[in-house]
A and B are shown apart, each in its own frame.
Chain A
Amino acid sequence: MKLASMKTTTALALVLAALPATGAIGQEIRMLVGDTGTGGTLFEEMAATFEEEHPGVDVVIEEVSYQTIVESLPVQLQAGEGPDIAIITDLGGLSPFYEDITDYVDADYFEQEWGQTLQWLRGGDTESSAIYGMPTTLTVNGAYVNLTLFEQAGVEVPEEGATWQEWAEATRQVAEATGTDFPMEMDRSGHRFASLAISYGAELVDEEGNPVVDDGLRAAIEQFVEWHENGTMPMDLWGAVGGSTHRELFSDFLNANVVLYFGGSWTLAQMDTEVGDLFDWAVVPAPCGPSSCTVMPGGGAMVGFSHTDHPELVGELINFFAQPENLDFYISQEVEIPSAASQIENGVDYPSASENTQDALAVFSAQIPKMADAAYRFQGWRYQRAMMNSLTTRISQVLNNELSVDAALERIEQDVNLAIEAAQTNS
């Protein structure tokens, strides 16, 4: 009996001794970052300061492949698991999982810096004013042009305001004169095609969040098919690949096999390291369609997730990363296009980037104010990926004579409606 009571006393003492220690373990915030660019390095550096200011808080930065963020993270979130914070690119698609951090951040500052892009995180809910995170960087679709080939061909580089057709004509002349394989190429991506489509007047999604298949989209598809038929664009990307598979052949531009390549700002670093001064190149202002001179915006955002046990801390950490000194540090080191209004207005110094890259960044940044409303709306739409997947799949079928343009338009509308219907079957 005496022995038993001694054991109980000892156990109680151990439990009581452990209690304060448990409190001192503090809170852990897990943040998932893709391995593109500098990965998690810069965030680790900044998070160290946050940890100093918040004793007992441990910020764990996990660097994973970009594919993990695109494919595995949504499944983890569906299961109510995953990190507290992540940097994601499917801004509207993951909106059901975000934590509203309005109460924990300087909301006025967030609205002032990211007013329009915050809407992308609201999944098309136009009435919401919730703040779910901080847009980290912007990416901008755009055209890379081989200036050396233009010079060799003696063809004038089209000025700002030139139409897609004028670019097609000019690049055809250059390709013919210089024996280059192809005049133009575009990533096989619904996002890239949306740039062309919106400049041709396509709405893609209306203000109520309904898919729109209109004459603008028809005109863009017809133009795109014509370029493939007359050899302006090779079949290798959009013609040869099926389904929703993303494919790019930027190596064609790096190897001077194409005069104009329509990709995006994320390949700038590659241009510096792989092309250097082998040939002259430039990023040109958005080619114009009959409707506007616009390209699609894109980018990443740092968001908190609703399953977190520490919503306040998540909000505070995002607010910390959003401070001007941290933003400037991140954008300049990462060599990315800023998304914050003050940075876009005042510009950012990129000490490590070449002159060519700095010029290209300036051109990309200059496209941001010119982007059509439809482009912003499409970027924040919850069903954007359903539309983009359908665009790539169906346009490839048109290029291979499996569908007519009319049938493809019908299928695109049907595909997106079926996706919305499947997602909304809750009763």
Chain B
Amino acid sequence: MSAKSQVAHAAGQVAMFPARAVEPLMSGLQRVLGIKRMPWVFLIPNLTAVVLFALLPVFINVFYSVSGSDRLFPWDRPFIGGANYQTLFDCTNYLDPATCSRDLFWRALGNTMVFVPVQVTVMITIALLTAVCLNREIRGRGFFRGIFFFPVMLSPVVVALTWQWILQRNGALNGLLSATGLPTLNWLVFPNTAFFWSVFVTVWAHMGFYTIILLAGLQSIPRDVYEAARMDSATPWRSFTRITLPLLKPVLLVVFILAVIRSVQTFDELYVLTGGGPGSATMLMVQYIYEVGFAAQPRNFGLAAAASLLLGLALLVFTAIQMRISRGGNND
């Protein structure tokens, strides 16, 4: 046996050591449980992690939502049934938040229902256009890819503070407008402009991530399909709508689901940029949950847990619909 094969043999022995060490244990287990139950033994480590870090928090959240007081530990909290949900749904007219006991919950819900579709549509449209541009043979393509991805690497608080300095009364944007003789505006003081900038800033901050995913999807489309279309005199628009979009559909669906979930979770940028204002014009659901559960004194963990479960439920339903559509698309 050569020196090389001796080393390889020794390495194999070392690698097999753990397997040999547990072999008696596994054999014993197999004798007791039977071979059909053995897969569960191997799944236990992962299942433990899922139960501890995913399922248990959900159950704890459910318990918080049906318990009262400002106590932290579950065993110190009295059971109050559906009182927190009842408080949230205590409304004379669901379309008019002013008639609700927890009016800010309904205002935040209404804002979220407008913010999410607008932000996701704008984000995906711009990300797709950017990805299409970056997929072409343009000069400095790598540089531009880096530029568009750069905001994704910034902390949300840094993003919000930067835009606050740009948009405030004496900020950079008004300085620029003033220098060019254009009228200035206090951008974050009016509900409509504040909402516009909320969408703009969050799109700016996250667009790069989706652009990269879409770019990868575009690059996986075979070139010869486009060449065949060109030979058939297809216009660029027709190629885009008949080749690019259909072949990109699975990637677009993933991007769509990720973008919706991230959009519903929006909190940090807007909390620093507008604090949910003016009034409650940009207060979204997560900020409401934060305000009730953490900023309030005494902290109302129960109400915050109830609101977050409702939000989670809405996201679950939405994701199920998306997955169904996605499956339908694949079957076609």
Contact = CB atoms under 8 A, between A and B. Distances in A.
Interface of A: 71, 74-75, 78-79, 90, 93, 181, 234-236, 239-245, 247, 257, 383, 385-386, 389, 393, 396-397, 399-403, 407, 411, 414, 418-420, 422-427
B282 to A, nearest CB: 7
Contact of B275 (A242, A385, A386, A422): A242
B279 interface: yes
A419 to B, nearest CB: 6
B278 A396 contact: yes
B253 interface: no
Interface stretch (B27-35, B38-46, B71-79, B236-244): B71-79
Nearest to A411: B103
Interface residues of B, number: 44
Interface string B66-104: 001111110000101000000100000000001001011
A410 B302 CA distance: 23
Interface stretch (B57-65, B123-131, B185-193): B185-193
A243 B69 contact: no
A242 B281 contact: yes
A386 B189 contact: no
Contacts of B98: 403, 407
A134 B73 CA distance: 29
B278 A240 contact: yes
Contacts of A241: 274-278
Interface string B269-308: 0010011111111110001000100111111101100000
Contacts of A411: 103
A402 B98 CA distance: 9
A75 B275 contact: no
B194 interface: yes
Nearest to A421: B68
A79 B73 contact: yes
B168 interface: yes
A230 to B, nearest CB: 16
A396 B279 contact: yes
Nearest to A235: B189
Contacts of B168: 236
B186 A244 contact: no
Contacts of B281: 242, 400
A414 B283 contact: no
Contacts of A414: 101
B277 A242 contact: yes
B169 interface: yes
30 contacts: A78-B71, A79-B73, A90-B297, A93-B297, A93-B298, A240-B188, A240-B189, A240-B194, A241-B276, A244-B295, A244-B296, A245-B271, A247-B275, A385-B297, A386-B298, A389-B291, A393-B104, A396-B280, A397-B280, A400-B281, A401-B279, A411-B103, A418-B300, A419-B296, A419-B300, A422-B68, A422-B303, A425-B78, A426-B69, A427-B78
A240 B72 contact: no
Contacts of B275: 241-243, 245, 247
Given A386-B296, A422-B302, A243 B189 contact: no
Contact of B287 (A236, A243, A419): A243
Given A90-B297, A244-B291, A236 B283 contact: no
A76 B273 CA distance: 29
A25 B275 CA distance: 49
A257 B303 CA distance: 42
A243 B278 contact: no
Contacts of A425: 68-69, 78, 80
B279 A399 contact: yes
Given A247-B275, A427-B78, 10 more contacts: A75-B72, A236-B169, A242-B274, A242-B281, A385-B296, A396-B280, A402-B280, A418-B300, A420-B298, A422-B70
